[in-house]
Amino acid sequence: MARVFSGVQPTGNIHLGNYLGALKQFVELQDQEECIYCIVDEHAITVPQDPKELREHVLDVAALYLAIGIDPKKSIVFVQSQVSGHAELGWICTCNTSTGELFRMTQFKAKSGGKESVGTGLLVYPTLMAADILLYDAEIVPVGNDQKQHIELTRDIAQRMNFKYGDDCFVVPDGRFMKAGARIMALDDPTSKMSKSATNELSRISLLDEPNKIKKAIMKATTDSDGVVKFDIENKPGISNLMTIYAAFTDMSFDEIEKKYEGHGYGDFKKDLVVIVQDALAPIRERYEEIRHSDELIEILEDGAKRARAIAEPVLKRVQDKVGFGYDK
Ligand code: ATP
Ligand code: LTN
């Protein structure tokens, strides 16, 4: 069994992009591999957070993990800040990464907007992400396409430190990306990715959205004027994005979807998609409501942190020894 690690930020509004790009794979992988799923609150504070809201959002994501089908008997589910090894290994990774590498990260460029007033955490964030993964000797990291560059950097850090300190320092991980859904675009602007932070509520569908909101967002989604249901990212990004969502939920190919809607306009296609998404999200919402305020949720996180620490501690010790921390007694 290979070891799998991934994380989601507790910043609210978990949306279809997060689900189809990453979370859906989390569930699929737990039957084949040894999976560790984290709620990365230390990453969340790279931008300002209200402490009270942050604590709530941690439990929101934990409950969502379970609601989509992550089974705590099969997978470890825990909160990053409860395992101190992340921050400790993060520092070691930071010291083995050049500032040039970090300034080149496209996510840093986008999120900082070139301003020097942004927090330093936003710049060094990828070294903490590398530590998250390397701390567990993880081999597979299921994520959306937007994280490709961060995974590459993680591999670079691991290989560089293996060269410097010996091959058994780190396991070099691989990213795992979905075929359909690795990059879901905003519904109001199919040229930018669906995001938690966009101000237009109708730009995304959150996993806990009411059926009416789902309908509104899909029926209003930006398409084009030629009315043909055809997959063509370049020239028809809006309908192609909706087809990607359709395909991810139904397992139909783009060819099959095109055939089904031949001679129909976007209206029929969108109406069907509304029902498909509503039906897929209804059981998730129901399960979420059951578990979000339960004692069981806290117990699962406490147990998850214990199990995570048991894996992380010997790995951290191994790396600290290599780096030269401590002294001979
Ligand atoms: P956002 O950009 O929406 O604020 P994020 O990428 O900053 O989200 P996370 O919640 O930690 O933060 O992301 C969880 C997972 O969802 C990651 O694996 C990420 O790659 C994936 N993901 C995020 N947005 C999309 C998208 N639009 N399409 C596909 N996958 C996505
Ligand atoms: N950077 C990721 C979240 C994240 C992560 C990780 C994903 C933090 N640490 C480790 C996979 C493995 C994001 O913003 N989506």
Q: What would the mean pLDDT of 280-288 be, rounded to a whole number? A: 97
* CA–CA gap between residue 260 and residue 144 (Å, rounded): 28
* CA–CA gap between residue 153 and residue 168 (Å, rounded): 19
Q: What is the pLDDT of residue 328?
A: 86
Residue 259: Cβ-neighbour burial (10 angstroms; 0-12, 13-18, 19+): exposed
pLDDT at residue 117 is higher than 80: yes
- pTM equals 0.95
Question: With the CA atoms of 191, 199, 145 and 42 taken in that order, what torsion angle do they form, in degrees rounded to the nearest 10?
Answer: 160
- How many CB atoms lie under 10 A from the CB of residue 200? 12
Q: What is the pLDDT of residue 12?
A: 81
Q: What would the mean pLDDT of 284-288 be, rounded to a whole number? A: 97
Q: Which atom of ligand 1 is nearest to the CA of 14?
A: 10
Q: Which atom of ligand 2 is nearest to the CA of 40?
A: 8
Ligand whose nearest atom lies closest to the CA of 11: 1
Question: Quick check: CB of 236 below 6 Å from ligand 2?
Answer: no
CA distances to 79, 146, 184, 208, 240 from 217, in Å: 32, 23, 14, 13, 16
280 C-alpha to center of ligand 2: Å?
Answer: 25
Question: Quick check: CB of 184 below 6 Å from ligand 1?
Answer: yes
Ligand whose nearest atom lies closest to the CA of 37: 2
Tokens of 321: 């020894």
Sign of CA dihedral 144, 310, 287, 31: positive
Q: What is the pLDDT of residue 207?
A: 96
Q: What would the mean pLDDT of 135-149 be, rounded to a whole number? A: 96
Question: Distance from CA of residue 29 to its chain's centroid?
Answer: 14
Instruction: Name the catalytic one among 24, 193, 215, 270.
Output: 193
Mean pLDDT of the chain: 96
* CA–CA gap between residue 29 and residue 249 (Å, rounded): 17
pLDDT at residue 181 is higher than 90: no
Question: Quick check: CB of 141 below 6 Å from ligand 2?
Answer: yes
Q: What is the pLDDT of residue 197?
A: 86
Q: What is the pLDDT of residue 329?
A: 86
Q: What would the mean pLDDT of 77-98 be, rounded to a whole number? A: 98
pLDDT at residue 302 is higher than 90: yes
Q: What is the pLDDT of residue 182?
A: 81
Question: Distance from CA of residue 114 to its chain's centroid?
Answer: 25
Residue 193 falls in the annotated catalytic set: yes
State pLDDT tens for residues 21-76: 999 999 999 999 999 999 999 999 999 999 999 999 999 999 999 999 999 999 99
Residue 111 falls in the annotated catalytic set: yes
Cβ proximity of 193 and 206 under 8 Å: no
